[in-house]
Amino acid sequence: MTPLVTEGNVMTKLTKSKIDGLEIKSKDYFIWDSDLPGFGIRVFPSGRKKFVLQYRHGRKSRRMMLSQHGAITLGQARKLAIQALAKIGQDIDPLQVRKNSREALTVKELADRFDAEHIVVDLKETTAKEYRRKLKLFILPAIGRMRITDVTRADVAKFHHDYRHKPYQANRNIKIISKMFNLAELWGLGPDGTNPRRHIKKYPEKKRERYFSPAELQSIGHVLREMEAEGLEFQSAINAIRLLLFTGCRLNEIMKLEWEWVDLDNAALHLPDSKTGAKTVHLGQAAINILRNVEKLLGNPYVIIGKNPGQRLTDLQPFWQRVRARAGLKDARFHDLRHTFASIAVSNGKSLPMIGKLLGHSQVQTTAQYAHLATAPVVSAANDVTSLIAESLAERH
C-alpha cells in the first residue's frame, strides 16, 4: 500500500519549466518527483508526456496513468496522485476502481434489471405502471446514460431540485432512485453505502383534503339519476360511482370487482388482493341494494362490466368528468369519494379504529389523517350543553 519508484530512473523536484524542457529520446523514460514518492512523468519518443503514479498494492507493483501533460496542469496531476494515494492508504486499489467504473452498468441498464427483478416480481400492477412511467419520463432522461458509479449525490440533488415545484413528483422520483441503488449494492454492482440518494431530504408535501358536503352529494346523486333516466350513459359507470360512494373502496377495488368475491348473505366483499393485501369490505344496505340490481352477464366475471364480451370497464375517467361537470364539481377526484365516506363516518361518531377497518387501512397513521374531523361532533355537543347552561343562568324577565 506504499508508493514504489522504479530504480534506474531520474528523481527530481518536478516543475513546469523542467517538464517543458525534458529531452525527447528514442525510447520512453520516466522522471520521478522527489517531493511526492511514486508520482512522475513519462516521456514518449513521440514527444507526448503523461503524468503517472507508481505504487504497490498488496504484493503487486502497479502503474497508473493519471492524464496527459497539457490536458491538466502539474498541480492538478499532483492532486490526482494524492487522492489515489489516499485510496491506497485505505487498502483500495485506484486502478481497480477505475476498471470497475469503466465496466459499470449505466443507470438505464440498472433500470432494466430493476424492472425484471423488482418491479415485475414485487410490485402490484398499478404501482409497477407508475414506476415505469416515472423512469421513462423523468429519471432516465436525466441520468440514464450515466454509469452508476459516476452518479453522485450532487446529481441526484440537482434532479430533485429541478422538480421542486412538484414536490410529490420530486419525492417519488428519488424514492425510485434510492431503491434502484440499494438493490445495486445488494447485487454487488457498487460498494456498500454509496447510494447517491442518501441525506437528500424530501420536500414537504401538502396533502389535499377534499370532502363532499351534503349539498354536493345531493348534486352528484341528482346527476346520476338524470343520466340513468336519459339512458345515454353506460349503466356500469353509474353503478361504479355509486359503489365507490357507498363502500369507501379504492377505484381499482371496484373496477376489478368480480362476482365470486361478492358475499351478499354476509354483507361483504372478500377481496383477494388490494393495496394492503387481501381484505374484507363490509357492506351497508345501500351498497347491497345496488349490487342486487346489477345485471349479471353469463361469461363475464366482473361486476362493473365493459362493452366488450367478458371484459370489465377499464376507464371511468371520461364518465366521471361528465358527472362532475354537470354537478358543478370540476375539482373533484375519484379519491374524494373515499375521503367523503370516511369524513361522514367520523362526523357521525365512528371511532378511528372502526373507520380504519371500514377502509381497510393497514396502518393507524393512515386513518389518523381524519382525526381532526372528529372534533366537529364534540364542538356541536359542547354548544348544546353550554346553551342549556347559559339558558339556566339567564335572568328571567
Residue extent(s) of CATH 1.10.443.10 domains in the chain? 214-378
Residue extent(s) of CATH 1.10.150 domains in the chain? 107-186
Q: How far is CA 32 from CA 42, 47, 95, in A?
A: 9, 17, 19
Fold of 214-378: hpI Integrase; Chain A (1.10.443)
| Burial of residue 180, with CB atoms counted within 10 A of its CB: 0-12 exposed, 13-18 middle, 19 or more buried | buried
Q: What is the pTM of this model?
A: 0.56
Residue extent(s) of CATH 3.30.160.390 domains in the chain? 10-103
Confidence at residue 4, expressed as pLDDT on a 0 to 100 scale = 47
Phi, psi of 31 (to 5 degrees): -120, 125
- Are 271 and 279 in contact by the 8 Å Cβ rule? The answer is yes
Name the strand (E) or helix (H) holding 385: helix 375-393
Cβ count near 318 (within 10 Å)? 8
Confidence at residue 8, expressed as pLDDT on a 0 to 100 scale = 46
What cell numbers appear for 152 in the block?
A: 453522485
Q: How far is CA 279 from CA 33, 95, 255, 306, 356, in A?
A: 72, 55, 16, 25, 12
Q: Tell me the C-alpha distance between 334 and 63, whole Å.
A: 64
pLDDT along the chain (397 residues), means of 10: 50 90 91 91 93 88 89 91 88 79 83 93 88 96 92 94 93 96 88 88 80 87 93 92 89 92 91 81 89 91 92 92 91 84 73 67 59 57 70 64
Domain at 107-186, CATH from 1.20.120, 1.10.150, 1.10.287, 1.10.3470: 1.10.150
Confidence at residue 323, expressed as pLDDT on a 0 to 100 scale = 93
What cell numbers appear for 39 in the block?
A: 508520482
Fold of 10-103: Double Stranded RNA Binding Domain (3.30.160)
Confidence at residue 7, expressed as pLDDT on a 0 to 100 scale = 42
Confidence at residue 135, expressed as pLDDT on a 0 to 100 scale = 96
